[in-house]
Amino acid sequence: MTDLDTGAGAPDAQSAEPGIRILAQFIRDLSFENPRAPDALRQSQDQPQIDLNVEMNARGRDDGLFEVDLKLSARANRTDGPLFVVELLYGGVFQIGGVAGEEMEPVLLIECPRYLFPFARRIIAEVTSEGGFPPFLLDPIDFAGVYAARKAQADPQVGHA
């Protein structure tokens, strides 16, 4: 990362001050399904069940930057059948400086998704609204908890010392 130069007055990569800078954000993939429209749009006393899945992935790039993907998928069902399915893969390109190697994974998989989440949340709310439903507003996500659960799942020996 010492040769990192974005040409935009970026902070010195060797500085001791940690820093995260978002250089780009983008929709990589977006899908919305409304399989029972227009019947599913009728009012019902039956509250929908929402299944939400969250995934985070990160990778380094040849230019010293990092790509982080936040994948959110939600399925809404009522007893009479499915209402909607929405899947969003939202990405960002980040410049990260002043972070030690052993701290990089948590920064990439906790802090970077925190920056992306409000934008992804807005997209999901808008697409569900355009699909004829009330805007589906995701509750805040505990990315540190998701990261810890993922680590525990990958290494069942963690925490059993």
Output the CA angle 87-90-93, nearest 5 degrees.
Answer: 165
- Residue 136 CB coordination number (10 Å): 21
Q: How far is CA 79 from CA 76, 86, 131, in A?
A: 10, 19, 20
pLDDT, tens digit (0-9, with 9 covering 90-100), for 37-53 = 888 787 777 888 999 99
Overall average pLDDT of the 30-36 stretch: 94
Q: How many residues does the chain have?
A: 161
22-135, superfamily in CATH?
A: SecB-like (3.10.420.10)
pLDDT averaged over the chain? 86
pLDDT, tens digit (0-9, with 9 covering 90-100), for 124-143 = 999 999 999 999 999 999 99
What is the distance between the alpha carbons of residues 55 and 144, in angstroms, rounded to a whole number?
A: 12
Overall average pLDDT of the 27-35 stretch: 96
Q: What are phi and psi of 154, to 5 degrees?
A: -75, -30
Residue keyed to tokens 């009479």: 80
Q: What is the pLDDT of residue 161?
A: 46
pLDDT, tens digit (0-9, with 9 covering 90-100), for 78-134 = 888 899 999 999 999 999 998 888 899 999 999 999 999 999 999 999 999 999 999
